[in-house]
Structure 1
Amino acid sequence: MKKNSFLFSAKGIFMATFLSINAMVDAQQTADISTISEKTLSSILEKNRTYSTQGKVADYIPELGKMDAKAIAFSVVDQNGKVFNTGDVHKKFTMQSISKIIALMVAVRERGEADVFAKMGYFGSEKPFNHFSNLETTGKPLNPMMNAGAIYTTSLISGAGEQAFIKVLDMVRYITKNQNIDYSKSVYESEKSTGHRNRGMFYLMKNNGLISGNEDQLDNYFKQCSIELTAEDLAKIGYFFAHQCVRFDGDSKYKSAEVAKLIESQMLTAGMYEFSGEYSRMVGLPSKSGVGGGIAVSVPGKMGIGVFSPALDQHGNSLAGYHMILDLVKQYNLSIF
């Protein structure tokens, strides 16, 4: 009995020590977040700059093909709303699919989540962002992050003409506290003139009774994708949803834990196109990419991250951007898992 008592006691001491060490390590990792600096970001950026030569700038929209493949930027808004920037942080690029999370927020605020998702799923997909998925059979978009679901979401925002687009633009300006943000008319025209696949989705949904309006609604989608901003603006968007829709300066006008949960869950499930599953495993953070080269990332309750590099991988995600995010996540143990 004495021997067993000793063994149990020794095991207890070992477990207590093990848990104590783990707690110390976790505490150290949490404390490390406060050491993030522009020097940190610069080091990570330079390490991953070479990836910009391995990807390919999107050219299926001709105007996007003019982007400088070597441009690269990295931005973080920390827990206190402080901004850290490195690289080509003044370089503007278009939101493209990142605009989908803003349109979803606007639509849900107007109509409620149940109404918005009555004819749209919460599903992920192994298909590319511009895949028709099951539109030709059920007529129901898989999720609001693929093009079909995003076109449908934007069509739900009230207002005639370009009012839906203006609401999305105004929300981007509010979240970033940047009234100078506007859309690129040249990218918009380029998207509109070549967007026949999106036009096909629009009319399939119209045929199935999901959409009742005219092509003004599709134009609003093209315009929201053409909104120009910087990596810093993306980091502020990431911060916004990471903090229950509270702006980086503390403005809580749109505060909503439920809206933030919805947006972040969709970012995690489908925000990186068909790469989302692997991305969730490797990075483990709600993120939304765009073929303009940007990625907005939310670290729930902590910070926002914005990256930009227009050279894309085969999924349409920024190649250097992904690796910068991955290195930051590993260095500071930021994954939610």
Structure 2
Amino acid sequence: MKKNSFLFSAKGILIAGFLSLNTVMHAQKTADISTISEKTLSSILEKNRTYSSQGKVADYIPELGKMDAKAIAFSVVDKNGKVFNTGDVSKKFTMQSISKIIALMVAVNEKGEANVFDKMGYFGSDRPFNHFSNLETTGKPLNPMMNAGAILTTSLISGDGEKPFLKVLDMVRYITKNPTIDYSKSVYESEKFTGHRNRGMFYIMKNSGLISGNEDQLDNYFKQCSIELTAEDLAKIGYFFANQCVRFDGDSTYKNAEIAKLIESQMLTAGMYEFSGEYSRTVGLPSKSGVGGGITVSVPGKIGIGVFSPALDQHGNSLAGYHMILDLVKQYNLSIF
């Protein structure tokens, strides 16, 4: 009996020791995030540059088809708000669907979460971003990350004419601390001219009573998608939501842990469209992509990541951007799982 007790105790000590060692190793691995540098990012970017030749630039919006498929940029804002950049960091591109998380924040700040989500769901999706999903049956969009839900979200922001769009633009300028950010008139016109599918969603929701205004509200959505920024700006947006809506320089004007949780949860479940489930398994971080080639990523409580490469995969996500994010996540054990 004593012998068994001794063996049991010894085994317990070994297990405890192993668990302690594992915890220490994990902590050390996580702590390595402080070693991120421009050299790190440059190495990852060069490794994945080749993916830009394997994807396809979005051309269903004619102006987007003019983007240089070889352009690529990688940016990180660390826990202390320090910015690290590599690649074509001065290259501007349009936000497209990344603007949806900003519009959602503005709408929820004005109307409250219950009011907004009374009109749409929290669901994920196995359908492309521009799918009608259950609009024709229940009349409600699946979530605010798909086009239908995003169009509805923007329509809920108060104000006449382009006032709702200007609120989204001002919030982007605030979060990035970049007052020069504006929207591309040519991309906006191109989106408006070819946006018949989005127009169809708008009128189905108008028919079901979810939207009561006119096409000015749809124009605001097209304008917000046309906001131009850089990979660095996306990293700052990622940082903002990762840190309870506190800006990278410490400005806490909009600090709100609940809004940050809402946005991050939507990014995680639907931010990469029908690829979101697989992305959650491989990357495991709240992220939002746009067909302009950008992806913004939040590492909760830590850093913000921004990538840009306009050559897209079959889901409409930046191909090289995804692989850069994946490599950084693996190297620094950043997944929340």
Fold shared by both chains (TM-score > 0.5): yes
Tell me which residue corresponds to 1:125. Answer: 125
| Runs (5+) with no aligned partner, structure 1 | none
User: How far apart are the structure 2 equivalents of 1:105 and 1:13?
Assistant: 50
TM-score (norm 1): 0.99
- Asked if 1:234 is matched to 2:234, the reply is yes
Aligned to 1:54: 54
CA distance in 2, matches of 1:323, 1:173: 28
| Alignment match, 2:186 | 186
* Structure 2: stretches of 5+ with no match in the other structure: none
Aligned to 1:285: 285
Instruction: Determine helix, strand or coil for the equivalent of 1:62.
Output: coil
Where do 4+ consecutive residues of structure 1 move more than 4 Å? none
The 5-angstrom pairing of residues 188-207 of structure 1 reads: 188-207=188-207
Q: CA deviation at 1:27?
A: 1.8
Render the CA deviation track for 1:27-64: whole Å, top value 9, x for unaligned: 21122000000000000000000000000000000000
The aligned counterpart of 1:114 is 114
1:45 is aligned to 45
1:104 and 2:104 correspond? yes
Query: Residue 93 of structure 1 aligns with which residue?
Result: 93
Q: What letter is aligned with 2:101?
A: I
Q: Give 1:293-304 correspondences, 5 Å limit.
A: 293-304=293-304
Residues 1-337 of structure 1 correspond to what in structure 2 (within 5 A)? 1-337=1-337
What is the rounded CA distance, in whole Å, between the counterparts of 2:222 and 2:320 in structure 1?
26
CA distance in 2, matches of 1:20, 1:274: 39
Q: How far is the alpha carbon of 1:116 from its aligned partner?
A: 0.4
Q: Could you tell me the TM-score, scaled by structure 2's length? A: 0.99
In structure 2, distance between residues paired with 1:267 and 1:31: 25
Number of equivalenced pairs: 337
Report the Cα distance in structure 2 between the residues aligned to 1:305 and 1:226, rounded to whole angstroms. 21
Q: Which amino acid aligns with 2:46?
A: E
| Matched position secondary structure for 1:307 | strand
CA shift, 1:253, in A, is 0.2
The residue matched to 1:302 in structure 2 has which SS?
coil
Write out per-residue CA displacement over residues 95-125 of structure 1, whole angstroms, 9 at most, x where no aligned residue: 0000000000000000000000111000001
Give, in angstroms, the shift of residue 2 of structure 1: 2.0
Residue type at the aligned position of 2:25 = V
- Amino acid corresponding to residue 60 of structure 1 in structure 2: Y
Counterpart CA distance in 2 for 1:235 and 1:263 is 15
- Structure 2: distance between partners of 1:246 and 1:136: 39
CA distance in 2, matches of 1:304, 1:185: 28
Q: CA RMSD for the aligned pairs? A: 0.5
Residue type at the aligned position of 2:267? M
SS at match of 2:171: helix
Paired AA for residue 132 in structure 2: F
Measure the CA separation in 2 of the matches of 1:140 and 1:13. Answer: 56
Percent identical pairs in the alignment equals 90
Q: Which whole-Å CA distance do the structure 2 matches of 1:75 and 1:308 have between them?
A: 9
Query: What SS does the aligned partner of 1:59 have?
Result: coil
* 1-structure distance, mates of 2:324, 2:103: 27
